Amino acid sequence: MTNAIHWPEWVPLAGHQLRVSGVHFDALRIQGVRGEQVAARLIAETEGDAGPVICEATGFRWMYFLVAPGSAKEHRWPLGVQRFGTPRTVTYIGIPALEGNTWPLCWYSEPTATAPYVESGQLLVALSS
């Protein structure tokens, strides 16, 4: 039996689970093609180490950019970017496991030891490009 450390602790071991934004992370949500373009720009600018970005495979195909708790309020976000993590509202974000069947959610960019969160300032720059 191994004692593998599961990191980060808010990522489920299998499938997907709901997590409250503002606790382990804040989330910024961008719809469809625009979200995919921003994510691709961010990944290119960070040489593949952008931090956690989640994609919904159905519906509006939202992209969720997970930033450090409390950091979503540090910037003024452009129209079309929805912010989750304020203390006034409770919002649940679906988080997929790092492996296995997680449909309809998938990691567009996984959290890493060097990028446990998307850097909010870098995200803002990618949105402006």
pTM of the model: 0.93
Residue 60 pLDDT > 80: yes
State the residue for tokens 């921003």: 38
Q: For 64-117, what is each residue's pLDDT tens digit? A: 999 999 999 999 999 999 999 877 778 999 999 999 999 999 999 999 999 999
Residue 86: per-residue pLDDT: 73
Residue 6: per-residue pLDDT: 61
Report phi then psi at 121, rounded to 5. Answer: -65, -40
**C-beta separation of 3 from 95 below 8 A:** no
55 bridge partner residues? 63, 106
| Calpha distance 71→73 (Å, rounded) | 5
Residue 1 pLDDT > 60: no
Q: For 20-56, what is each residue's pLDDT tens digit? A: 999 999 999 999 999 999 999 999 999 999 999 999 9
